[in-house]
Amino acid sequence: MRIAAMSMTALLVLAACKPAQNGQSPVTMDEATRIAEQAEGTFTRGDVGAIMRQYADGAVMFDASHAGLTTDRKVQNGWAQSFVSMKPADYTVADRQIQIVGPDAFVSSGTETFTVAAGAARPAVSARFTDVFQRQKDGSWKIVTEHVSMPPTTAPAGQ
C-alpha cells in the first residue's frame, strides 16, 4: 500500500513538472471547478451520449453498484443508461475538493447528492466520488478515471 501511495505521489509530482499541452495555460482552480461542474451538469439531463462524452476513451471507471472496474465503453454506456433510468434530479456537491495535479490534470472529489424519480427505494441518494480530469490533445477536458462509492452506513469505531 505504501509503495502504491509513493508511486502515485511520484507520478503526480512528475505531472506537475510537465508543461501544458499544445502551449495551453496550466489549468487554474477556477477553470477546474467550472470544468467539473459542466461535466456534472450532464448527469441529470437524461442524455447518455452527453454523459459519456465527458469520459475519455479507455477511462477507468468504478461504479457504486458494481463490484469491479471497467474500461469497456459498452459496459460504461450500460452503467450510464442505468443511472439515467433513475431519472436523477437536484444534483449537488456541497463538499467538492479540487486538487490541481499538473498543468493538464486535476482531481475533483466530494459527495454528490441527488433525488431519483424512478427505480429506487429512497427518493434521495448520496455517493462519494473521485474524478480525474485530463486535458486531451485537442484541448478538451475528459474524465480519465472515476471512482464512485456509497458512504458507509455506520460511523467507524472510535468516531
117 in a structural domain: yes
pLDDT at 117: 82
159 in a structural domain: no
> What is the span of the domain harbouring residue 139?
2-149
Query: Could you give the percent of the chain with pLDDT greater than 70?
Result: 80
pLDDT-derived band at 158, boundaries 50, 70, 90:
low
30 in a structural domain: yes
Read off the pLDDT of residues 30-55 as tens digits, 9 standing for 90 and up: 999 999 999 999 999 999 999 999 99
Are 12 and 107 in contact by the 8 Å Cβ rule? The answer is no
What whole-number distance in Å separates Cα of residue 107 and Cα of residue 34? Answer: 13
What's the whole-number average pLDDT of the chain? 87
Flag whether the pTM goes above 0.75: yes
Using DSSP, state whether 19 is helix, strand or coil.
Answer: coil
158 in a structural domain: no
Query: Cell triple for residue 36?
Result: 467539473
Number of folded domains that form the chain: 1
93 in a structural domain: yes
CATH code (residue 83): 3.10.450.50
156 in a structural domain: no
What whole-number distance in Å separates Cα of residue 66 and Cα of residue 147? Answer: 11
Read off the pLDDT of residues 128-156 as tens digits, 9 standing for 90 and up: 999 999 999 999 999 999 999 999 887 66
Query: Cell triple for residue 133?
Result: 480530469
More confident residue, 72 or 2: 72
Query: Cell triple for residue 55?
Result: 469520459
Q: What's the gap between Cα 25 and its chain centre?
A: 22
Are 143 and 40 in contact by the 8 Å Cβ rule? The answer is no
> Alpha-carbon torsion 47, 108, 114, 154, what sign?
positive
58 in a structural domain: yes
155 in a structural domain: no
